[in-house]
Amino acid sequence: MTEKRLAEEKADREKVLQEKNCVEEKLKEIQRKQFADIIGMCEDETFCSICNEIFISPVTLNDCGHVCCSYCIEAWKKNGHNTCPYCRAKVKSQVKNFILNNLIERFFGIADDETKMIRERLIAERQKEGIRVVSHLLISFTYFMSLPVTGTKRLSFITL
């Protein structure tokens, strides 16, 4: 092969590589949009009202059916509460919500790398720190739940 032919092949390979990178970026953008759309549609069903994060190890409280992060409910109970943080029903037992957990994990399967990294960091932080990570949130949540209700909604502020 001549040098001219080698240069042409190199230019062709670079062009193909650029096109591939462009397609990959477009695919990542589509995945980010899909992730945001799915989470947006399921926000009420996938977010813990205590820590305001997408559930991490969600558990269902057997007496009332409410769902929260296992870390959040354990911190709630550690602070001396034996009732549901949402409806105040007595909590006798809880069970891991495998279906919701698997669904959330599938959502994160299509998330972009940055979102996955943030979630992994939060999970690692909770595992490392245990329930101390959310105890300040529970104090605020307890305060929030004690606020007077106006109409059908609580006053919409919370002090952290």
Instruction: Assess if residue 156 is contained within a domain.
Output: no
User: What pLDDT, in 10s, does the model give residues 143-152?
Assistant: 556 666 554 4
Q: What is the CATH number of the domain that holds 75?
A: 3.30.40.10
Instruction: Assess if residue 15 is contained within a domain.
Output: no
Instruction: Assess if residue 23 is contained within a domain.
Output: no
Which residues span the domain enclosing 67? 42-147
How far is Cα 133 from Cα 123, in angstroms, rounded to an integer?
Answer: 10
Instruction: Assess if residue 34 is contained within a domain.
Output: no
How far is Cα 68 from Cα 85, in angstroms, rounded to an integer?
Answer: 9
Total domains, the chain: 1
How far is Cα 64 from Cα 73, in angstroms, rounded to an integer?
Answer: 14
Instruction: Assess if residue 155 is contained within a domain.
Output: no
pLDDT of amino acid 37: 78
pLDDT of amino acid 44: 73
**Using 50, 70 and 90 to split pLDDT, how confident is the model at 61?**
very high
Instruction: Assess if residue 68 is contained within a domain.
Output: yes
User: What pLDDT, in 10s, does the model give residues 129-138?
Assistant: 664 544 555 5
Average pLDDT over residues 97-103: 92
Q: Which phi and psi (to 5°) does residue 59 adopt?
A: -125, 145
Length of the chain, in residues: 160
